[in-house]
Amino acid sequence: MSKPVGRPKNPPKFKDVLYDIIPSASLFSEEELKMFNGLMEIYLKDFDESQLSANDLDDIMSIATNRVLEVRLLQSMRNNTDMQIDASAAIERLRKQTDKLKENLATRRKDRVDPKKYSGISIVDLAVAFDQNKKDHLLNKVAQFEIEDAELKKSEFFIGNKNDQDAEVFDVEED
């Protein structure tokens, strides 16, 4: 029997890979590790973990790492004016790399969307659905007005002017 090709049916959860395999605790200080783990939690919430690939995880980890390194550089240059030029250049490179990583993630996310899934809906379908909703709303309003009208006609205040002294009856023939 041959080995199955492709992605395993039950791959390990990315959070398990992140915390068990990646030595992030040895890369960052305690405060930075807290920031890294928090960023990873936030970034992973943007994705369906069953759809993520290893490349996605790598990009997400790189984005979080870049953010932590950027903060580290900003903190180090806060009190050292000699380091500001070097640190600002490094921060600029980190930001460019992060933007490229985000573009890669977005591209892969777009590639996963099945265009056939949404091909049955057109602008005409949306317009018809909108018109039907509007029609239903107006019909409900008409029904409500008819109910109110029927209640008013039963009221003692809806007698018209037939009992007025100066009212004339027109539908009776005179002899």
The pLDDT-based confidence of 1 (bands split at 50, 70, 90) is low
The pLDDT-based confidence of 141 (bands split at 50, 70, 90) is very high
Residue 92 pLDDT:
92
Give the residue, 19 or 45, on which the prediction is more confident: 45
Residue 174 region by backbone torsions, left for phi larger than 0, else alpha for psi between -120 and 50, else beta: beta
Q: What is the mean pLDDT of residues 38-54?
A: 82
- The CA–CA distances, whole Å, from 117 to 26, 100, 113, 151, 155 equal 45, 28, 8, 50, 57
Torsion of CA 34, 36, 38, 39, to 10 degrees: 160
Q: What is the mean pLDDT of residues 18-45?
A: 84
Give the residue, 121 or 141, on which the prediction is more confident: 141
Flag whether pLDDT at 126 surpasses 70. yes
Where is average pLDDT lowest: 68-72, 85-89, 136-140?
85-89
Angle at 125 between CA 120 and CA 130, to 5 degrees: 145
Residue 143 structure tokens:
């029904």
Residue 175 pLDDT:
55
Nearest to 58 by CA among 108, 7, 8: 108
The pLDDT-based confidence of 167 (bands split at 50, 70, 90) is low
